[in-house]
């Protein structure tokens, strides 16, 4: 069964805590997962940020909405129990509890101090997409990032090989390799060895070196190109290499690189632009949003 939208979890959650006991959040998550027959894989599925499971996030938002409407309360940190209003709602035997249902309670409609009632609009949007605000935000962010990645890759392909060589050097330095930008710039493109475009320090002290191959290609790079690079490494008695391209690698190329004694890291076009975005190379921040949550330790009695 697919992961249910967070509103579909509302009624089952209220029914689960109807015994009047205090229930921990992990206990509620497990109970809802069993209720909806969520598989281990579905339960472990993460939000786009990779910081929180989707299902746990949805259960947390259910708790937040039900608490705001007065159906649940938190008697102590990390625990939830039903309220008299929650029991009264169950006594009415509703077939579904959702945001529209909760709007009958005045507390649910009240905005925070000094705020306009904008949360209802977000909630209304959530009704149609079946996602929590975090999911909506992170999905939108990922879509923007994917669009940016396509633009970056196209810009790289539109430039010449010299620009690509310079880009590779700057990226590796930003990632902590190559020592200074001057050192790295002098190392790349100077060897003249077949199958090797350059040598770069693995760290600022130069305790080890990494051999580079950078190819601005359109077609898929196959096993023969990786074999050629591996042979060049052996000729230099080198142990480590990085092969960077604007295209991608065939399955055979990846399997070969994973089996040989020399450590060869393959970076395709998608990984390349992801690293550029991560390390702010060729991109500039336009706006920042900081999402905050309650610091439970601050409000603890301990």
Number of helices (H) and strands (E), helices first, in the chain?
14, 7
Burial of 134 (0-12, 13-18, 19+ CB in 10 A): buried
Res 241 pLDDT > 60: yes
Q: Mapped to the 3 state alphabet, what secondary structure does 152-202 carry?
A: HHHHHHHCCHHHHHHHHHHHHHHCCCCCCHHHHHHHECCCCCCCCCEEEEC
22 versus 173: the higher-pLDDT residue is 22
113 versus 26: the higher-pLDDT residue is 26
Whole-angstrom distance, CA of residue 112 vs CA of residue 31: 31
Fold match flag (6-131 vs 160-278)? no
43-50 long-range Cβ contacts below 8 angstroms, 24+ apart: 45/3, 47/134, 47/135, 47/138, 48/138, 48/139, 48/141, 48/142, 49/138
Say what the pLDDT of residue 191 is.
46
The full set of domain ranges for the chain reads 6-131, 160-278
Say what the pLDDT of residue 279 is.
93
CATH 1.10.10 correct for 6-131: yes
Res 112 pLDDT > 50: no
Res 88 pLDDT > 50: yes
> Per the structure block, which two tokens stand in for 42?
């579905």
Burial of 122 (0-12, 13-18, 19+ CB in 10 A): exposed
> Per the structure block, which two tokens stand in for 147?
């669009």
Say what the pLDDT of residue 123 is.
46
Model confidence band, residue 234 (pLDDT cutoffs 50, 70, 90): confident
Tens of pLDDT, residue by residue over 166-210, are: 888 888 888 888 766 666 655 555 544 445 577 777 766 667 788
Say what the pLDDT of residue 211 is.
85
What single DSSP character describes residue 114?
T
CATH node for 160-278: 3.40.1350.10
Output the average pLDDT for the chain.
Answer: 83
């Amino acid at each position: 069964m697919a992961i249910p939208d967070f509103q579909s979890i509302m009624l089952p959650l209220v029914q689960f805590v109807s015994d009047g006991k205090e229930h921990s959040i992990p206990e509620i998550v497990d109970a809802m997962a069993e209720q909806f027959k969520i598989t281990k894989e579905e339960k472990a599925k993460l939000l786009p940020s990779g910081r929180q499971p989707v299902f746990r996030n949805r259960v947390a938002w259910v708790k937040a909405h039900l608490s705001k409407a007065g159906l649940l309360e938190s008697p102590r940190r990390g625990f939830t129990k039903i309220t008299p209003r929650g029991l009264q709602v169950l006594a009415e035997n509703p077939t579904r509890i959702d945001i529209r249902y909760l709007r009958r309670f005045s507390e649910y409609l009240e905005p925070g101090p000094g705020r306009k009632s904008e949360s209802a609009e977000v909630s209304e949007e959530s009704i149609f997409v079946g996602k929590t605000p975090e999911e909506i935000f992170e999905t939108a962010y990922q879509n923007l990032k994917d669009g940016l990645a396509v633009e970056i890759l196209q810009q790289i392909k539109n430039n010449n090989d010299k620009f690509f060589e310079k880009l590779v050097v700057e990226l590796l330095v930003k990632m902590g390799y190559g020592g200074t930008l001057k050192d790295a710039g002098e190392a790349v493109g100077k060897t003249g060895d077949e199958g090797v475009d350059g040598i770069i320090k693995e760290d600022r002290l130069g305790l080890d070196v990494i051999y580079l191959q950078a190819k601005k290609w359109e077609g898929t790079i196959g096993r023969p190109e990786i074999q050629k690079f591996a042979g060049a490494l052996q000729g230099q008695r080198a142990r480590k290499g990085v092969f960077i391209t604007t295209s991608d690698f065939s399955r055979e190329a990846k399997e070969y690189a994973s089996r040989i004694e020399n450590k060869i890291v393959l970076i395709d076009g998608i990984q390349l632009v992801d690293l550029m975005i991560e390390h702010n190379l060729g991109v500039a921040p336009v706006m920042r949003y900081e999402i905050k949550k309650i610091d439970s330790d601050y409000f603890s009695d301990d």
